[in-house]
Amino acid sequence: MLRYALQRISGVIPTLFVIITASFFIIRLAPGGPFDEEQTLPPEIKANLEAAYGLDQPLLVQYGRYMRGLLVGDFGPSFKFKDFSVTELIAQGLPISLTIGLAAVLLAMLVGIPLGALAALRRNTASDYGIMGFAVLGIALPGFVIGPLFALIFGLYLGVLPVAGYESGQPQYLVLPIVTLALPVIAYIARLTRGSLLEVLRSNFVRTARAKGLSPMRVLFRHALRPALLPVVSYLGPATAFVVTGSLVVESVFGLPGTGRYLVQGAINRDYTLVMGMIVVYGAITLLCNLIADLLYGWLDPRVRYE
């Protein structure tokens, strides 16, 4: 297991390096630049600006400088948020996005797996159809519908939670965003768990477990559930990375100052450093989540540990 873990971990750094390098050059392929606005700047001012940010240098020099900065945790200045460095922007927004993201994933697992298992065990009954119907809704309804709906019901009609906004140390502001973010993940996990558990329950080793005279609970929890969670884990790796780096929709609907908007805004504005910063963060978190998923995989199925 240790060797398997080390193998997986050693792959992370080179992968991250490739992601950063590729993104750095691909962004520059897009036409336009951070200082192209509707009102064209006088050429000499634009040249000054570009010189100030080092954009007049050859691309390779810029790349070298960016990579050196990364080594000491400096993501460079933002081109659009004039008084902020990218490091500051991310440091402010990421804790919020991480908090609601991790809470949403945790909630999704705690709700989705039992729901899926229940649907599998009560296959073709009302509870199965109910849960799967809910799952289809959860997947099909986008966050910009669910979010305002929740705000309307719980914020305005019932008045139990704030409609939107954020104050640090006030967790009630996070409840609706977390639930909105978790809903499609719950739905996916429930569907995956149901399908995979149904397959495992038909497998020969579950028949053996029943032939041993074990109670249905023991058959389910000790013999069937662990192998059945493999597809859930492989889905959760990338899904977690996606959720914790912040959702543009959910953060906009609930007015949360997270990092969700930075990637899209940065790309539209050609805010090279901000986009790069988000890519580095997103890439690192994705790799971390996949690493955790890989290790969980090895725990769930010992056959994976041997190649």
**Which is closer to another protein, CB of 190 or CB of 228?**
228
For residue 203, give both structure tokens: 């497998």
Distance CA 176, CA 250 (A): 9
- Least distance to another protein, CB of residue 123, Å: 9
Distance CA 251, CA 257 (A): 7
Distance CA 71, CA 83 (A): 22
Residue 85 bridge partners (DSSP): 77
**Which is closer to another protein, CB of 20 or CB of 206?**
206
- Least distance to another protein, CB of residue 238, Å: 23
**Which is closer to another protein, CB of 33 or CB of 227?**
227
Binding site for another protein (CB under 8 A): 203-205, 207-215, 218, 222-223, 226-227, 300-303, 306
According to DSSP, residue 304 is labeled G
| Other beta carbons within 10 Å of 95 | 13
| Angle value at C-alpha 305, between 300 and 307, nearest 5 degrees | 140
3 state SS of 2? helix
Distance CA 294, CA 84 (A): 37
- Least distance to another protein, CB of residue 126, Å: 17
**Which is closer to another protein, CB of 87 or CB of 234?**
234
- Least distance to another protein, CB of residue 296, Å: 12
**Which is closer to another protein, CB of 223 or CB of 270?**
223
- Least distance to another protein, CB of residue 193, Å: 16
Residue of 27, 34, 38 whose CA lies nearest to 49: 34
Amino acid at 75: F
- Least distance to another protein, CB of residue 303, Å: 5
**Which is closer to another protein, CB of 181 or CB of 233?**
233
3-state helix, strand, coil in the chain (%, to 5): 75, 0, 25
